[in-house]
Structure 1
Amino acid sequence: MVKNITHALDDRIEEMDRTYQKVLGNLAANFACATLKVKSRYFHRIGAAGRGTLRLYENIPRFPDHHIFSSGKCYPVIIRHSNCLSSDDDARLDPRGAAIRILTDEAESNTSLLDLTLKTGKAFHARTIGDFATWLVCGAAAQEEMVKHAPHVREAMWDSLRKADSYAELHYYSNICRLFRFKDGNEMYVKFKLRPFDEMINEDSGKVEPTGILPPETGAMPRDENDTRPLLFLNDDFKRRVNSPQNLRYVLQLQLRSVPTDEYEREAALDCTKPWDEKEFPYIEVGEITIDQVLTNEESASLEFNPFLRCHEVDVIRATSCSQSASLDHGRSVVYSICQHLRNNKPLPEAWKNFLDHSDVKVDLTGCPMAKVIEKKDTQRVTLARPWYHNLWMITEAGFVGSRAVAMPGVIVQKEGSLSALTLAMKEEIVN
């Protein structure tokens, strides 16, 4: 096959195998449709944001010399707190988020050095992008059946849920690793954590005790009938704390782990459904964040966090298969980029447009500026119901995947506007 080199390619997509591209393409197309419909974020739609500084400590014990996270350095930062699903009432139980943008230390620069997306809860409920996509198309009965065989997934979901009185009184975790390269040439896996400045606020702040197998749909969960607080009281509390004489302060922590030489051990280390042992890999406090300026609602809504921002010293761990642990972080960066462009009415690069075109989900881009740039090819002449290469794919690969999908209770095999189970149910451990 010969590549069309007349337009720029996205190496994140090019290095994926065929199944990974198919699964991620369907996922991206579904989120793209939702984004075009609501013209806003799908998750973490509302929140509060502020600007301040990250000041690294002069002496950081047990932390190797690093070019960016170097002793005494100071960086401008932006923090955006948010609710995961609740878009109109802060009193609903919900996972809470903290997205951190670290800007370069150059004067008057607004260039992002690193974007981090953290949330409440020490783990995520899906190990891979394939697991995440499968979870989305499964009904509640199938999800409950899955967690019976993976109790740590159930624990991750309940642990992420928080009853919040203040965004500033919660602990936030990255769940996902980055690759740090130190000045001595050593490489280590790193996870991030943001904790309240007040050490008396422990990790269980706002924790919700399980009342069933899985949490209910939090986006529609009503508040307690005796709760009389304003709908957006977390936003109000954030602004009050930022504008106070003490401002709003946090402590940034890192968790380090040597890169395993064995592939199986690397997969286990990158598994975001299982937290690292804090006794074996303790958190290291590297600096303090002070937020002293509130961003407007418009400024907060327009923020675009890019989890794929990387440099030599802080790199993203890549994946080639949707069954690899690193695929969740690698794959979501593509979905983030596409949805952010659509949300802000920016033209899609042709590589992303073609990526969506090859999915099983029809994305109507007639309201997108890109539709005026790319013309559709004439497809009136048809010789087969499916192109020959689709038939070949069905014979060689989908038969196996489809047989696995039948074994999954509650999976939608084919439904318009849904992810196809034929491309999602490829993971043996999910079936088992």
Structure 2
Amino acid sequence: MENWENVSALGTGATNGIAEVEAIQLALMRGTDPRLRGQHSKPHGLVRARFEVHDALPERYRVGLFAGPAVFDAYVRFSNGAARDDRQPDIHGMAIKLTGVPGRKILDEEALAETHDFILADNPVFFIRMVEDYVRFMEDFARSAPQGKPPTAFIAWLQQHRPADVAVLLNFRQQMRESPLATPFWSQVPYAFGTGEGTVSRYLVIPSPDNLVDPIPEAERGEHYLREAMVRHLTFRARSARFDFLLQVRDDATAAVIDDPTVEWDIPTQRVATLTIPPQTFDSPRQNAFGEGLSFTPWHALPEHQPVGQINLVRRAVYVASSRLRHGATDVPRAEPDGTESRSFNMRLSHEELTANIDDDFKEVVARLQKTFDALATIKNGRATHTFGAAARGEALCIAPADFPANDVFAAGTVYPVVLRHSSPGARPDDRARDGMAASIKFFEPGASTDGEGFYDILMNAGRQLFVRSIRDFSTFVHASPDERRILEQRDLIRRHQLREAYRIRGSFTECRYHTWMCFVFTDAVGTLRYVRFRLINHDCGPERGLPNAAFRAEGQPSMDALPDDQRAADFLRQDFIYRVKHSDVRYLLQIQMRDAPTPPDINHELFDPSQPWNEVWFPWIDLFQIRLTESVEDNETLSRMDMNPNRSPQCISIPLATSPDHYASLGHARAIVYPGARRVRAGTPNPQNN
């Protein structure tokens, strides 16, 4: 790589000037709040995205990242330059971080990280040309900004020495936008395009017109309306946002070209990639915290796209120093992401929280199960269990009684959009197989579309209890042969009565009662801790249906082949459910059991035992939601993309944690660890039909 600093004729004075700008920036941060970014401290949202480099680009543009077709997972952060109130004019930022980018990067300390950053703003030009100009500006800004005044001394200097730049400065922060998703962005400054001197580029990001279909009326805009606009589009309307990523490339990379970002380039553009932000729920504490923990710098890049020019040299020093100060103040380590973090954004507990206190024995059991579930997901091209099923959309009306403990979700009168999925636990494609039945409900924020991850999943199965007591017992069962399972049943490691009760003589998904088996921690608005279980029943509150007769024996098997005289269709359960949703009134009641936390606390109290139901007299079922299904979900891609996780829950609900694989709570705890890994494997496999 040749020395681009030579092109900018950088001297000792400029080098000293960079250090001076850095010192002023750090002093400003220390004088306000060093936990905040020095610039662009107010975010509108950190979203996950996909960056797709196009195929068959003209040869001139096949350089570095754009050398061939590729798809990268990405994170995109939208922000204000300085304003805390979105109704004030400002410069707005878009920072893109690609993940999974191979190749050594420019910055030594992050040379092996597989990320690449683009830094853009919604003004095509920057108002400073040279390092010496930057020093003058920062000196004046440090004096004037704390008093809420403009940098008048710097403006006076510009009027005398660079009069054409005065208008650039005065107009720099004057943008008003309807939505970050409908805003164009520019790199403003140039970047190398290739590994030799002479050819440089600028970047442009242009939004699709479809990114703004429901603007917030001006009279209804609050101080955070730009974030609200993103929520409205990506979450409530469940629409994607697409941007064209374009290049301007020129071969006359003289100092005059490189070090004048105050003028636009009047040269053609080439569309080289598409940035797609899918529908998502992004405005969550975990995702917001993750976004604020990320660092962006234009110097985190492949050498073929090295930042060039004096302004970029200032950025190199200031961005890294500011990031170090900020991360030191927040005590959050500086680290580059790998793209998988987004899968746990709306989970109640992080992977670190789930694994922090488990013993080595627990870790070993979980690792073995993870390997098995990953393999099953690959073999089945889908879910390791509960592979085949049917789903429908509808609404859940909260009917919690007036004396129900106050909390952030279960409030009477609140209506949540939901998706309810029924399935066969044994993962057999034939509905005639002798098996149990399951129901999972995914809740979405009021008014939101039912596309995306939702904010709360409740997973339930037929039968009041599970047939094992702990994750160690479950792992023993999973890895046993059919003959070994018969022996395990005889030894009562597989509990005979509980296993038999999990079976159903299956006629319709709508006729069964479903239970969570595991309990959850419920913390109300004043901090009182209780434990809860859920069940789903038909709205008519009729008796349990479909239990096997007294002669039935499971013999330690969780599912069995269909009987030879069963003449029903292989997908009769799924077709029956779809037909009922289309032509009948499919309604359920979701109920809750509550009990107080034990005194003194006991990590392995009997209330955690998933093989034992709670006494319904002492802990009666309370009606919590009326659920009505109105639209079947028959698109296979949508069904395959849907995932349910017991760790996806609101603040008032969490999973009890265990430390040993022999603890009762270890089952729910382990599910929360294993499911995301299996989900990642499943996402990369072809989808089965009707799943």
TM-score (norm 1): 0.73
Equivalent positions of 1:93-172 (< 5 A) are 93-108=434-449, 110=452, 112-148=454-490, 150=492, 153-172=495-514
Distance 1:330 1:35 in 2: 20
Q: Which residue of 1 aligns with 2:596?
A: 258
Quote the sequence identity (%): 25
Distance 2:398 2:485 in 1: 42
Distance 2:485 2:602 in 1: 26
Per-residue CA deviation, residues 373-423 of structure 1 (Å, 9 max, x unaligned), is: xxxxxxxxxxxxxxxxxxxxxxxxxxxxxxxxxxxxxxxxxxxxxxxxxxx
Q: CA RMSD in A?
A: 2.5
Q: Which residue of 2 aligns with 1:45?
A: 387
Q: Which residue of 2 aligns with 1:345?
A: 684
Q: Which residue of 2 aligns with 1:175?
A: 517
Distance 1:215 1:61 in 2: 46
Q: Which residue of 2 aligns with 1:275?
A: 613
Per-residue CA deviation, residues 93-143 of structure 1 (Å, 9 max, x unaligned), is: 211010110111144474512111100000001221111111223344554
Deviation at 1:337, TM superposition (A): 0.6
Deviation at 1:340, TM superposition (A): 0.9
Q: Which residue of 1 aligns with 2:659?
A: 320
Deviation at 1:222, TM superposition (A): 2.2
Which runs of 5 or more residues in structure 1 are unaligned?
A: 347-366, 368-432
Tell me which of the two structures has the higher relative contact order, counting C-alpha pairs closer than 8 angstroms and 6 or more residues apart: 1
Distance 1:150 1:61 in 2: 43
The yes-or-no answer on 1:332 pairing with 2:674 is no
Deviation at 1:146, TM superposition (A): 4.0
Q: Secondary structure at the match of 1:243?
A: helix
Q: Secondary structure at the match of 1:338?
A: helix
Deviation at 1:66, TM superposition (A): 2.5
Equivalent residues of 2:604, 2:663 under 8 A apart? no
Q: Which residue of 2 aligns with 1:54?
A: 396
Per-residue CA deviation, residues 146-203 of structure 1 (Å, 9 max, x unaligned), is: 4445499211100000011110011000001111111232111000000011233x12
Match of residue 532, structure 2, among 183, 190, 195: 190
Match of residue 623, structure 2, among 285, 290, 293: 285
Distance 2:482 2:551 in 1: 15
Equivalent residues of 1:50, 1:292 under 8 A apart? yes
Deviation at 1:266, TM superposition (A): 5.1
The yes-or-no answer on 1:80 pairing with 2:418 is no
Distance 2:648 2:609 in 1: 21
Equivalent positions of 1:382-421 (< 5 A) are none
Deviation at 1:21, TM superposition (A): 0.7
Per-residue CA deviation, residues 223-242 of structure 1 (Å, 9 max, x unaligned), is: 341x3221111111111111
Q: Which residue of 1 aligns with 2:640?
A: 301
Equivalent residues of 1:91, 1:163 under 8 A apart? no
TM-score (norm 2): 0.46
Q: State the one-letter code of the partner of 1:344.
A: A
Which runs of 5 or more residues in structure 2 are unaligned?
A: 1-332, 338-349, 687-691
Deviation at 1:265, TM superposition (A): 7.9
Distance 1:160 1:218 in 2: 8
Q: Secondary structure at the match of 1:27?
A: helix
Q: State the one-letter code of the partner of 1:285.
A: D
Per-residue CA deviation, residues 335-376 of structure 1 (Å, 9 max, x unaligned), is: 111111111129xxxxxxxxxxxxxxxxxxxx9xxxxxxxxx
Deviation at 1:270, TM superposition (A): 0.5
Q: Which residue of 1 aligns with 2:199?
A: none
Equivalent residues of 1:91, 1:231 under 8 A apart? yes
Match of residue 372, structure 2, among 30, 34, 43: 30
Distance 1:97 1:324 in 2: 24
The yes-or-no answer on 1:66 pairing with 2:407 is yes
Deviation at 1:317, TM superposition (A): 1.3
Q: Secondary structure at the match of 1:94?
A: coil
Q: State the one-letter code of the partner of 2:609.
A: D
Q: State the one-letter code of the partner of 1:283.
A: W
The yes-or-no answer on 1:209 pairing with 2:549 is yes
Deviation at 1:67, TM superposition (A): 2.2
Q: State the one-letter code of the partner of 1:255.
A: Q
Equivalent positions of 1:365-376 (< 5 A) are none
Segment drifting more, 143-152 vs 44-53: 143-152
Q: Which residue of 2 aligns with 1:15?
A: 357
Q: State the one-letter code of the partner of 2:504.
A: R
Deviation at 1:31, TM superposition (A): 1.5
Distance 1:29 1:92 in 2: 26
Equivalent residues of 1:158, 1:210 under 8 A apart? no
The yes-or-no answer on 1:89 pairing with 2:430 is yes
Q: Secondary structure at the match of 1:53?
A: strand
Q: State the one-letter code of the partner of 2:657.
A: R
Q: Which residue of 2 aligns with 1:235?
A: 574
Q: Which residue of 2 aligns with 1:401?
A: none
Q: State the one-letter code of the partner of 1:261.
A: T
Q: State the one-letter code of the partner of 1:342.
A: V
Q: Secondary structure at the match of 1:26?
A: helix
In the comparison of the two structures, how many residue pairs are matched? 339
Q: Which residue of 1 aligns with 2:562?
A: 222
Equivalent residues of 2:656, 2:669 under 8 A apart? yes
